[in-house]
Structure 1
Amino acid sequence: MDTTRNTVLGAWMAEHGYSSNSLADAVNRALERLTGRSGGLDGSSVRDWKAGRVQWPKSATRRALEDVTGLPAVALGFVPRGRSSSAPAPPQQEDPDMKRRTLVGGIAAAAATAVAPRTASPRRLGMSDVGRLQMRFAEIIASDQQHGGQLGIEQRAAALADEALNLQNAGRATQRVRNSLYASAAAFRSSAMWAAIDGRRYDSAKAHMREAQSLAEMSGDQAIKFRIWSHAGTMYRHMGRPADALAANDVARNLHLTRRDPLFACLGHARQAATLGLTGDATGVQHALGHAEDALERADAGLTRPVWMTGVRDGSELETLALAAHLRLGNFAQAEAHAHRSLTLLRPQMRRDHAINTARLAAAQLGQGDVELAVTTVMKVPADIAAQHARVTRMLREFGTALHATAPYSTAVRTWTEHAATWTTTA
């Protein structure tokens, strides 16, 4: 038996980032969609294909492989039975029918392999296209961490979601690439959703959410599904709808991703704690935060995760959400402790979160009667964020109202009023 290596398949796998095991898994899933039964392929099956030990897989397997790759089997270097892998079949009779069949066959083979430089074939999309989108997504995350809530960030993220979708129609792609493009579009749309939430533009946020959920379902990406539903929980919490927030958080927390990776479970429990603080459920808050801390300890620090999980990995997000929960409960001393820890853990580029947690720290200090210290703290919020970030602006106004109620005739009130005038005039 001729065992000439299938270098075409090997090259295709290298280009698209498949190992033998991952390609076997993808073909098994495609087989299950086609036949209703799970395929029995493993990495050794694919290695047999690459080594030339199997030159023409079974018909169902070929169909599944073609679904995964977007190419016919012959274009992947497979050779039909009875055909030599090293030479074309010898010519038979020179009758007109044979000439016609030979011509049609030659044209079909040329179209399938797409080797002729003059062939006008659609562009081939690959993981490099996805990689470029992921770089743009990292830029959106960085802008959010710096500024947050800005309409420009929302619009830019929405435009990039459309760009990712437009790529779907720009050429041929494997199912893996198509799923990754849908996941990228969902990720951009979820960032548009978050910018709208952060800017208190809730109608826009809900519209982005619906689009993001649809794209996430098409992608099958559990991480982006988690992000969208978790954002939905935060949106409803900010809107004062705790029942809806708890329900959305439950959808995120019940994804099997949270059982596979405790870091996602940590974020789910922590956001649930923040919402339970809104309801006044002190026992529920303690339980949820305990589960979050346990999950953080169990999480594998070496795993690769989405860029938006950075704050969860370093513990700053858990401290931030614990701060929000205890502040809502009126546990001001505990809130202050979490505020200090969060501000220590937050990375310097996360200016929006620094501003929010500084305002919360001031509220916790004011709640304990430390009026002068609270005013000193709140004045550390950068003026540009105070003036331009809707959520921070609201928090500072709430601080001013609480300050007037706590110490209406103090010099601290005058100090704060004069300071606030410097950013309210530019808001």
Structure 2
Amino acid sequence: MSATRNHALEAWMEMHGHSSNTLAEAVNQAIGDLTGRLGGLDGSSVRGWKAGRVRWPKSATRRALEDVTGLPATALGFVPRGRTPSTPAPPQQKDPDMKRRILVGGIAAAATAAAAAHGPAAQRRIGMSDVDRLQKRFAEIIASDHRHGGQLGIEQKAAALGDEALNLQNAGNASQRVRGSLYAAAAAFRSSAMWAAIDGRRYDVANTHMREAQALAEMSGDQAIKFRIWSHAGTMYRHMGRPADALAANDVARNLHLTRRDPLFASLGLARQGAIHGTAQNRTSTRRAFEQAQDAMVRADPADYRPGWMIAFYDQAELDSLALSAHLALGDYTTAEFHAHRCLSARRPHMVRSRAITTTRLAHAQLAQGAADAATATAMKVPADTATQHARVTRMLQEFGAALRATAKGSTTVQTWTEHAATWRTTA
């Protein structure tokens, strides 16, 4: 019998911009994370999957592929040994929307098959255990973001998990509470995809994720995830140099009644407002916003329940990080350096990406005060993998190098930095 092409996998790869070689590399890395040893796949391995020559990859490879895509192997068109496909595979389509429907349809088929395997009912009951499983995957996305940030793989995985959460809406019967939670989970994943795109400076894609996340959040009614999405939107516009739009978006977040109920959310909204005012060169509003943010943080009760994404990153160190950004934009380099040191002293270990950003900003503040040697020593503390693989950090370090060459031209300090940056290029 001739092999049947795996159209579901092909659709996922094309939708997420993967070639056979790049997917093989991603799966090899995931195998390394699982087993401690990189996988040995190459483009021909993936082409074998797409052609249907390999219908059920080995267990470690299968698990790694599921980690990369955020989807079960059956939803990607693979068939367990001893089974045959119950329906013929659909023809490959050129329309992107159709590709998404093919993929989601594959997930639905897998969910239906799982339900049939557990009993005679046509549909299974979707409950909070399904939501809890998604929330665990969301926590993994958050942790990955804090370690790596801005990576295309994080964005793609978060988007795929959002699709999985949406698919559960049609995979069985559920209470209104569960349905609301599923929409909130889908919105949360989309907001993480949005943030990864922002952090990687892929703003057009981030805007698309934002629209989808906003619609899902409205259907969920979840105030916390609405806050996250609109607050991220404010940050996106700030990075794009559009402070008026940034303030408008951030105001949507700040005007949610959640901020009146919980001072910590109010504090985050005010701190991000202060960062926007810094970009807009409004010194008085910047100072007032951070004073109010600090006051709100003091009033926040640590014992109050908050979603995991909020607990994972917002604290005094993050407030100082935003103040550092604002005062750096204002040209108040002494105050910026103060906030940088205070931020770094309190940064939690898992905030790898954020520590690199703060360190780079500190180097800029020191260089602007004429301390070229100290600034260079600071910039050299940024880990090589972050310096080369995180778009925002890479750009900031390139700007640092340009400023250093302009202010200390011909010095041994410039030579030291040039040689150090060259080692990043050889190890990237």
Query: TM-score of the superposition, structure 2-length normalised?
Result: 0.71
RMSD value, Cα: 1.3
CA distances 1:179-228 after superposition (whole Å, capped 9, x unpaired):
00000000000000000000001111000000000000000000000000
One-letter code aligned to 1:419: H
Which residue in 1 is equivalent to 2:140? 139
One-letter code aligned to 1:285: T
Which residue in 2 is equivalent to 1:350? 351
Give 1:405 shift. Answer: 1.7
CA contact under 8 A between 1:230 and 1:268: conserved in structure 2?
A: yes
Rounded Cα–Cα distance in structure 2 between residues aligned with 1:125 and 1:171: 6
Rounded Cα–Cα distance in structure 1 between residues aligned with 2:313 and 2:418: 36
Matched, 1:390 2:391: yes
Which residue in 2 is equivalent to 1:307? 308
Alpha-carbon spacing, 1:176–1:372, altered in 2? closer, same or farther (3 Å): same
Matched, 1:292 2:287: no
Q: Percent identity?
A: 71
CA contact under 8 A between 1:320 and 1:342: conserved in structure 2?
A: yes
Q: Runs (4+) of structure 1 moved beyond 4 Å?
A: none
Rounded Cα–Cα distance in structure 2 between residues aligned with 1:280 and 1:425: 39
Rounded Cα–Cα distance in structure 1 between residues aligned with 2:192 and 2:207: 12
Which residue in 1 is equivalent to 2:196? 195
- Larger of the two Rg values belongs to structure: 1
Which residue in 1 is equivalent to 2:72? none
SS of corresponding position for 1:305? coil
Which residue in 2 is equivalent to 1:319? 320
CA contact under 8 A between 2:277 and 2:286: conserved in structure 1?
A: yes
Structure 2: gaps spanning 5 or more residues:
1-117
What are the equivalent positions in structure 2 for 1:246-285 lying under 5 Å apart?
A: 246-285=247-286
Rounded Cα–Cα distance in structure 1 between residues aligned with 2:212 and 2:312: 25
Aligned residue pairs: how many? Answer: 311
CA contact under 8 A between 2:154 and 2:193: conserved in structure 1?
A: yes
Give 1:409 shift. Answer: 2.1
Rounded Cα–Cα distance in structure 2 between residues aligned with 1:313 and 1:351: 14
CA contact under 8 A between 1:312 and 1:318: conserved in structure 2?
A: no
Which residue in 2 is equivalent to 1:230? 231
CA contact under 8 A between 2:268 and 2:314: conserved in structure 1?
A: no
Alpha-carbon spacing, 1:338–1:118, altered in 2? closer, same or farther (3 Å): closer
Rounded Cα–Cα distance in structure 1 between residues aligned with 2:238 and 2:169: 35
CA contact under 8 A between 1:158 and 1:192: conserved in structure 2?
A: yes
Which residue in 1 is equivalent to 2:422? 421
Give 1:119 shift. Answer: 5.5
Which residue in 2 is equivalent to 1:370? 371
One-letter code aligned to 2:146: Q
Which residue in 2 is equivalent to 1:399? 400
CA contact under 8 A between 1:183 and 1:215: conserved in structure 2?
A: yes
Give 1:122 shift. Answer: 1.8
CA contact under 8 A between 2:264 and 2:296: conserved in structure 1?
A: yes
CA contact under 8 A between 2:267 and 2:294: conserved in structure 1?
A: yes
Rounded Cα–Cα distance in structure 2 between residues aligned with 1:422 and 1:384: 11
CA contact under 8 A between 1:140 and 1:157: conserved in structure 2?
A: yes
Give 1:314 shift. Answer: 2.9
CA distances 1:323-353 after superposition (whole Å, capped 9, x unpaired):
1001111111111111111111111111100
CA contact under 8 A between 1:179 and 1:219: conserved in structure 2?
A: yes
CA contact under 8 A between 1:403 and 1:413: conserved in structure 2?
A: yes
One-letter code aligned to 2:378: T
- Once the two structures are overlaid, the 10-residue window that deviates more, 308-317 or 398-407, is 308-317
CA contact under 8 A between 1:226 and 1:252: conserved in structure 2?
A: yes
Alpha-carbon spacing, 1:195–1:313, altered in 2? closer, same or farther (3 Å): closer
CA contact under 8 A between 1:263 and 1:312: conserved in structure 2?
A: no
What are the equivalent positions in structure 2 for 1:72-111 lying under 5 Å apart?
A: none
One-letter code aligned to 1:197: I
Rounded Cα–Cα distance in structure 1 between residues aligned with 2:417 and 2:280: 31
Give 1:310 shift. Answer: 2.4
One-letter code aligned to 2:238: R
Rounded Cα–Cα distance in structure 2 between residues aligned with 1:118 and 1:221: 33
Matched, 1:164 2:169: no
CA contact under 8 A between 1:311 and 1:346: conserved in structure 2?
A: no
CA contact under 8 A between 2:359 and 2:378: conserved in structure 1?
A: yes
CA contact under 8 A between 1:193 and 1:209: conserved in structure 2?
A: yes
Matched, 1:341 2:337: no
Rounded Cα–Cα distance in structure 1 between residues aligned with 2:119 and 2:391: 56
CA distances 1:281-308 after superposition (whole Å, capped 9, x unpaired):
0101000001100110111100121122
CA contact under 8 A between 1:317 and 1:342: conserved in structure 2?
A: yes
One-letter code aligned to 1:264: F
Which residue in 2 is equivalent to 1:181? 182
Structure 1: gaps spanning 5 or more residues:
1-116
Rounded Cα–Cα distance in structure 2 between residues aligned with 1:399 and 1:296: 32
Rounded Cα–Cα distance in structure 2 between residues aligned with 1:421 and 1:169: 53
Rounded Cα–Cα distance in structure 1 between residues aligned with 2:236 and 2:348: 24
Rounded Cα–Cα distance in structure 1 between residues aligned with 2:356 and 2:314: 20
One-letter code aligned to 1:195: A
